[in-house]
Amino acid sequence: MTAGTPAAPLTFGRGPAWANRFAVAPLTNLQSHPDGTLSDDEYAWLVRRAQGGFGMVMTCASHVSRAGQAFPGQLAAWDDRFLPGLTRLAGGIRDAGGVAALQLHHGGRRADAALSGVPVVAPWDDPAKSARALTTAEVEQVVADFTAAAVRAERAGFHGVEVHGAHGYLVCQFLNPRNDRADRYGGSFENRTRMVWEILHGIRAATGPDFQVGLRLTPERSGIPLAEARALAADVLVSGLLDYLDMSLWDAFKETHEEAHRDRLLIDHFTGLPRGGTRLGVAGKIGSAPDAAWCLDRGADFVLVGAGAVLHHDFPVRALADAGFRLVQPRPREHFVRESVGPAFLHYLATNWDDFVA
Ligand SMILES: Cc1cc2nc3c(=O)[nH]c(=O)nc-3n(C[C@H](O)[C@H](O)[C@H](O)COP(=O)(O)O)c2cc1C
């Protein structure tokens, strides 16, 4: 085993090493209770993945402010009332030998007032989404909410958190060039990235020296120009604030969407950046042992597996035992039941994901 192979442990400047290069991608699974508290189904789904050998197990997007809720059955992290469930979940993942991370999220203009019970807020006034612009003081409060949720995660026993800065949710909305706020959080690149930096500094200042902090960014699909995603990635990688950067590429093997950057594959735009001691992960259609090996050969330190983790709680065990291992889909419902996918998640997969549930 050498560093960079799928089976090699991954060490970090802070916090525990991961047993291998496979992480569960954050997956919204709609399985928590309507009030945001942990359910047995959500617990079973994630703990089973830790038992299946994933070096790191990340939760679904968990909202840090009440107004951030975007999904029914979303696991909440915005108040101490959620501590008992979070503590049980972190303990279950840890006891199974996994490193446990809570993904911190705010839906922003993609939140749902009918679920949260409070108005939708966003960087800018957005009548189409019935969203109003946050005041500057409210932006500061959101930053504080991310920090408070990270502290809560640490108290609950999670080894770390990942800040969800991808996929068009609030942090990503702030990054978007469409964010033309007149205060220090909008307009220039420096201003639009300010929220990310303040969240990372806030979390670092409030959590212990071994707390593992990651950030998820996406360079395509969410209105972020590739050059800006790359510039932010370059800065955070060498900032010393992060333990890992998780690049959500949707397809780790694709060309760039923007023609001007097709001199390299999308992944190469990020694996080629200096990263100091920060680790780099990639996600997107990694559905086989050769896929994972290819990403690591290309320069990633680890892979995040979404569909593969749903199909096989022990995807890492299978991929490490068989260098030719590949996902087979669709699968019948009974298969998912055996894999500890609860009824709410299974229904969601069957109705939203093509060729997944037979
Ligand atoms: C059902 C579903 C739920 C997801 N939930 C989240 C989420 O909560 N947070 C997040 O950052 N990404 C989320 N994603 C994106 C995944 O983490 C992952 O990046 C994506 O599915 C690509 O990986 P895959 O091709 O291995 O599935 C979700 C994707 C799917 C299909």
267 found inside a domain: yes
SS3 state of residue 174: helix
Whole-number Å distance, alpha carbon 265 to ligand 1 midpoint, is 21
CB 244 within 8 A of CB 17: no
**Residues in CB range of 310: below 8 A, 6 or more apart:** 27, 336, 339, 341, 345, 349, 356
* CA-nearest residue, atom 30 of ligand 1: 27
Q: List, in sequence order, every residue forming a beta bridge with 102; answer none if it has no partner.
A: 161
What pLDDT score does 145 carry?
Answer: 99
Q: Is the pLDDT of residue 299 over 90?
A: yes
6 found inside a domain: no
Instruction: Choose which residue among 22, 24, 28 to substitute to test ligand 1 binding: the one with the highest number of ligand atoms within 8 A of its C-beta.
Output: 28
Phi and psi for 69 in degrees, rounded to 5?
-70, 125
Whole-number Å distance, alpha carbon 284 to ligand 1 midpoint, is 8
Percentage of residues in the chain having pLDDT higher than 90: 97
What's the pLDDT tens digit per position in 220-229?
Answer: 889 999 999 9
What pLDDT score does 354 carry?
Answer: 87
Measured CA to CA, the distance from residue 185 to residue 68 in angstroms comes to: 18
Q: How far is CA 25 from CA 61, 102, 103, 188, 200, in A?
A: 10, 11, 10, 31, 20
The atom number, within ligand 1, closest to the CA of 60 reads 8
What pLDDT score does 2 carry?
Answer: 42
User: What's 221's domain CATH number?
Assistant: 3.20.20.70
Reported as a pLDDT band with limits 50, 70 and 90, residue 238 is very high
Question: Which residue ranges have their beta carbon within 6 Å of ligand 1?
Answer: 25-28, 60-61, 103, 164, 166-167, 216, 248, 250, 283-286, 305-308
- Cis-peptide into 316, omega within 30 deg: no
CB 185 within 8 A of CB 138: no
Please compute the mean of the pLDDT values over residues 296-309 and round it to a whole number.
Answer: 98
SS3 state of residue 102: strand
Phi and psi for 3 in degrees, rounded to 5?
-55, 135
340 found inside a domain: no
155 found inside a domain: yes
Query: Residue 245: enclosing H or E segment and its boundaries?
Result: strand 244-248
Instruction: Choose which residue among 22, 24, 27, 30 to substitute to test ligand 1 binding: the one with the highest number of ligand atoms within 8 A of its C-beta.
Output: 27
Active-site residues: which are they?
A: 169
Measured CA to CA, the distance from residue 30 to residue 343 in angstroms comes to: 10
Q: CA torsion sign, 160 to 284 to 226 to 65?
A: negative
Percentage of residues in the chain having pLDDT higher than 70: 99
Q: List, in sequence order, every residue forming a beta bridge with 265; answer none if it has no partner.
A: 255
The atom number, within ligand 1, closest to the CA of 25 reads 17
Measured CA to CA, the distance from residue 52 to residue 26 in angstroms comes to: 16
What's the pLDDT tens digit per position in 88-131?
Answer: 999 999 999 999 999 999 999 999 999 999 999 999 999 999 99
Q: Enter the pTM of the model.
A: 0.98
DSSP strand pairing (22-24 vs 302-305)? parallel
Q: How far is CA 41 from CA 37, 114, 208, 246, in A?
A: 12, 23, 30, 26
10 found inside a domain: no
* CA-nearest residue, atom 12 of ligand 1: 26
* CA-nearest residue, atom 29 of ligand 1: 27
Full residue range of the structural domain in which residue 196 is found: 22-327
Reported as a pLDDT band with limits 50, 70 and 90, residue 277 is very high
Measured CA to CA, the distance from residue 329 to residue 257 in angstroms comes to: 27
**Residues in CB range of 325: below 8 A, 6 or more apart:** 288, 289, 318, 319
Whose structure tokens read 């609030």?
170
- Number of structural domains (the chain) is 1
Whole-number Å distance, alpha carbon 304 to ligand 1 midpoint, is 9
197 found inside a domain: yes
What's the pLDDT tens digit per position in 141-197?
Answer: 999 999 999 999 999 999 999 999 999 999 999 999 999 999 999 999 999 999 999
Q: Which two tokens stand for residue 264?
A: 């390299």
Whole-number Å distance, alpha carbon 329 to ligand 1 midpoint, is 17
What pLDDT score does 4 carry?
Answer: 74
334 found inside a domain: no
What's the pLDDT tens digit per position in 50-86?
Answer: 999 999 999 999 999 999 999 999 999 999 999 999 9
Please compute the mean of the pLDDT values over residues 286-303 and round it to a whole number.
Answer: 98
What pLDDT score does 1 carry?
Answer: 37
342 found inside a domain: no
Q: Is the pLDDT of residue 3 over 90?
A: no
Whole-number Å distance, alpha carbon 25 to ligand 1 midpoint, is 6
Q: How far is CA 15 from CA 6, 22, 200, in A?
A: 20, 17, 16
For the chain, the average pLDDT equals 97
